[in-house]
Amino acid sequence: MIEHDHAEVDPLRIGGASLSARFFLGTGRFPSPAIMQQALAASGAEVITFAVRRVNLDHVEDDSVLQHLEGRALRYLPNTSGASNADEAVRIAELARAAGLGNWIKVEISADPRTLLPDPLETLRATERLAALGYVTLPYTSDDPVLCRRLAEAGAAAVMPGGAPIGTGLGILNPYNLGLICSELAVPVIVDAGLGSAQDALQAMELGAAAVLANTPVARARDPVGMAQAYALAIRAGRLSYLSGRIPKRPFASASSTPEGMLGGVLGFTSGSDAAERAIAASERDAGADAPTDTAVRAPASDSGAAGLAAMGAQRGIPGTSGTPGNGSVTATAAGSVCGPGSTSERRERP
């Protein structure tokens, strides 16, 4: 059985660290430092990310962002936003580590200033070099399963595919690819960028993501603190749903109760799956070029069940149950079948 509060028994492990929260929070674009702090508290996040170029590396303790985070047990994930190639990304990472910001680094190399989509080749090169230098490397990438596998092979501690372009709020545009990435990689998958509401975070977790990183959808929400809490709850719910296992999708209805002891059982109706099979078979027969007619799909009923129902209806004066077929009637036939509206014991012409 999965514990309802399972953070301690289901930790997220990245680069030798064990995290209980699966929500990573960005620090940019908040209306004020005070709201950022409140949102951070509501999110329960243990990992925060920020652009190194926005940090005063000469006086980190006085930085406009980091000075508001003192006293919190947080792990910093500086990112290389603004880098246009692998050389620049490595240089930014080295500056961040020298300034005491740790050895975790999010590789972010944009190839197009309009879409801000990541450059796959430069991202792969930077990941290889930074991993060799001992960094816990988390590359932001597109939702390409092959590229994500290459990044993991290059030494990435986790991969961070985007759900959509940064800041668009479009949500997860390609759930199939993200699900494939999550199922194939041995390293954690953190869905990053393009999310809109908490619903998108829940979907990412149900697809098998290990965590979610969000910034703009929280910072630019009407109520950033409330949205931060909504994301945190959605991520926990999505993770628990993923671990619990959803039911398979089916093309037809399947009753949640068995037909025994129900009116349907008296009438002789079969289970949903049997009826579905009969319906499929009938539709396949009708699809033939030489099959201008269709056959009513009907399950056999017991003589006593149908006759008893007809007799009971006639005794109570219910119209259409006196034994003469009519609109809406239920009649026991000699063969023990049941005829209702639109059903017949013979083939009928299509209208």
For residue 75, the tally of other CB atoms under 10 A from its CB is 17
CA separation for the pair 214, 165 (Å, rounded): 12
Report CA 242 to chain centroid distance, whole Å.
9
What distance in Å separates the CA atoms of residue 233 and residue 252, rounded to the nearest whole number? 32
CA 227 to chain centre: 18
Q: What is the bridge-based pairing of β-strands 331-332 and 338-339?
A: antiparallel
Residue 249: active-site member: no
Give the annotated binding-site residues: 167, 193-194, 215-216
Q: In this structure, how many other beta carbons lie within 10 angstroms of the beta carbon of residue 76?
A: 20
Q: How far is CA 225 from CA 42, 222, 228, 229, 290, in A?
A: 6, 9, 5, 6, 65
Closest-CA residue to 126 (of 70, 85, 163, 172): 85
How far is 102 from 183, CA to CA, in rounded Å? 30
Choose the catalytic residue: 106, 125, 129, 236.
106
- Could you tell me the end-to-end alpha-carbon distance of the chain, in angstroms, rounded to an integer? 56
Active site residues: 106
